[in-house]
Structure 1
């Protein structure tokens, strides 16, 4: 079950990476991210999207490490703590996306983030 959840988390994060990459490239999808205030993201938010991609890679690696699909970065205790921190991050993301002024962000990103929060919670609790 852990391996399935880790791969599912990676698939969702890959989808978010594609979205962030499109935003960096100037796609008019800005209503789905960063508060939804811009149709096309300005340079500062594009930089934030690039940073997000790096963070998604770390999140994916942590899920894979927790499921023993890759070696832990430091040790299993560090991975366990990291998973709880990431779970809290996604729970905060659910709240932030849920209160967004952007209808698209609320409708698409809130359930996406909720799915990730749930996956990371289950993985963290294992």
Structure 2
């Protein structure tokens, strides 16, 4: 019987990505949650940062599709299937970078919310990268 670990890891990662996407879309729409993002310097983000959040939402949604496609839970991802193993490693590397950035942010609320989320995302994407066949 195949291992359930890749499936669980992919679903966990996709759920975390969904939370990130929702947060970034809220920022892009102008919700004043800027203290929990971008170093926490302001509540309301300027237009350029709102655009950045919109782009980030699209990218994170793509990673959600990639991890789900890697284990066969969705029928499409924005990359060819042959690229998915490498893309999952890229996702893990970005999650690792996110851990570092969220650990060093000056914003206590950003650190409180996003450091645990990024650690969980790193664990899930690493588990998927290491176990998906």
Q: Which one of the candidate residues 81, 99, 102 is aligned to 1:75? A: 81
Tell me the CA shift for residue 4 of structure 1: 2.4
**CA apart distance, 1:70:** 2.9
Matched, 1:38 2:16: no
- Residue 50 (structure 1) aligns with: 54
1:5 Cα offset (Å): 2.1
Match of 1:15 in 2: 19
1:60 aligned to 2:64? Answer: yes
Query: What is the distance in 1 between the residues matched to 2:84 and 2:33?
Result: 34
Partner Cα distance (2:19, 2:106) in 1: 22
Deviations 1:97-125 (A, max 9, x none): 11001001111111111111110000000
User: Could you state the TM-score of these two structures normalised by the residue count of structure 1?
Assistant: 0.91
The RMSD of aligned alpha carbons is: 1.4
For 2:73 and 2:23, locate their aligned partners in 1 and report how far apart those are by CA, in whole Å: 26
Aligned length: 125
1:38-78 deviations in whole A, cap 9, x for unaligned? 111111110110011111111101111221223563234x1
Structure 2 unaligned spans of 5+: none
TM-score, normalised by the number of residues in structure 2:
0.87
